[in-house]
Amino acid sequence: MSAVIKTNPRTYFSYAHQTGAAILEFTAMAVPLVLISLGTIELSSWFYTRQALHTVLLDAAREATTKHIHPEAIINTLENGLTPLFAKGPRAQNLEAINSGLELRRQQIKGAPWQITVLSPSYSAFKDFQDSSLYLPKASGLAIVNNYFLAEQDLNNKKRGSGWVNGSGPISGQNIYQANTLTLEFYWPHRPAFTPFAYILKLLSNSSDSYAKKVLKAGYLPIKRSISLMMHSHPVLWPNHSSGKVLFEQGYTTNPCKGWLCSQTTRNQQTHTDNTTDNNDYSYTNEGEWPANNAEDFIDPSNPINSGSLPDVGNHIFPNPECGITMCCVF
C-alpha cells in the first residue's frame, strides 16, 4: 500500500511565485556594483593621467622659458615626456607606442593630437613691449620682448605718458613683468579605459569648433592643465605651429562661459596668423642655436620701445585667475 503525500496548495503557490527571485535580486545588486567598479577604475586612470600631464607640462614650460617660447622646443620636450602614459618597456618600444598613440588621436580627432595655447605673453603685450632693436637667431622679423633688467624697464615705463598707467601698456594692460611671464594652457585627449564611456563622451559634444569639443566628439575626455612661469629668455611671438599643437593667443573676450564649473570670463579661439607664410627659417635645431641673453642684446629701456606694425587687437581683458583649476572653464 503506497503512501499518499499531500501538499498544501498555499505552500505550492508561494514557491511557484518565488522562482527566479534570487536572480532578479542578484542582478539588481550586481549592475550598480559593476558600474561603480568601472567608474572607479576610470576615475583612477583619469587622476593618474592628469598628474603625469602636470609633470610633462612643467618640463615643457621650463624648456620654453629658456628657448624663447619656441614651438619646437615645447613639442619635443612634451612628447618625449609622455612615456609614463605609453610605457611598454625598452625606450624604442616606448617611442613607438607614443608615436602610435599620437597618430591615433590625430586621425580620430582630425586635428592636433594635443594642443598648447600660449596665453601669456599675450599678442597685445607684444604690441606694447616689443623691442625691434633686439636680435636673435631664427627670429628675424618677429616681435621680441626684452627680458633684461625688468625693474629698470618697469620704472621707465611708469614715467611714460600716452596711456601708460603705472607702467602698464595702453593696449594689453600688462606691465613688463607680466609680459615676461609664460602662461600655457594644455589640452590632452584622454582615452577612456572602457568603450561605453567613449560613447557617453560623444553624446556630450556639440557643434562647437573649440578643441575641447572636438576631443569630446572623438570619444576622448579633454584634460586641461595650465601653468605660469617667469621667462629666462627674451619672449618671441612665433608663428602658430603648422601641426596645430602650439598656438599663440591673440586676445580675450568676455563672452559668457558655457562650460561646467566655468568662471565668468572666457577667451576666444582666434589666434594670430601673421608671419605664417614668410620665407624665414624659424626651425628649432639644437641648444647651440639659442645662446643665453647677451649684454650686447640689451638696449637701454629708457629708449622708446618701437610698437612696430602689429595690427590692433583692441582692448585686452584677462581671464579670471580661477580659470584652469580642476575642470573649470572647459568650453
Residue of higher predicted confidence among 297 and 160:
160
Element (H, E) at 56: helix 21-66
pLDDT digits (tens, 9 = 90+) for 17-61: 556 677 777 777 877 887 787 778 788 888 889 999 999 999 999
Q: What is the DSSP-derived secondary structure letter of residue 311?
A: P
Query: Where do the structural domains in the chain lie, given as residue ranges?
Result: 37-297
The two beta strands, 115-120 and 246-248, are parallel
Residues 6+ apart with CB under 8 A from 202: 216, 217, 218, 219
pLDDT digits (tens, 9 = 90+) for 54-87: 999 999 999 999 999 999 999 999 999 998 888 7
Q: What is the pLDDT of residue 7?
A: 53
C-alpha cell at 35: 558600474
C-alpha cell at 239: 608663428
Give the mean model confidence (pLDDT) for residues 4-17.
Answer: 55
pLDDT at 16 over 50: yes
Q: Which residues pair with 144 in a beta bridge?
A: 236
Q: What is the pLDDT of residue 299?
A: 36
C-alpha cell at 144: 621680441
Residue of higher predicted confidence among 135 and 90:
135
Buried b (16+ CB within 10 A) or exposed e, 289-306: ebeebeeebbeebeeebe
Q: What is the pLDDT of residue 93?
A: 80
pLDDT band at 106 (very low <50, low <70, confident <90, very high): very high
What global pTM score does this model have? 0.70
User: What SS3 state is found at 31?
Assistant: helix
Q: What is the pLDDT of residue 38?
A: 75
pLDDT digits (tens, 9 = 90+) for 209-252: 789 889 988 889 899 999 999 999 999 999 999 999 999 975 44
pLDDT digits (tens, 9 = 90+) for 260-317: 433 333 344 444 444 433 445 555 554 434 444 443 333 333 433 333 333 333 333 3
Q: What is the pLDDT of residue 174?
A: 92
pLDDT at 150 over 80: yes
Q: What is the pLDDT of residue 118?
A: 96
Please state, in angstroms and rounded to a whole number, the distance separating the CA atoms of residues 288 and 43: 43
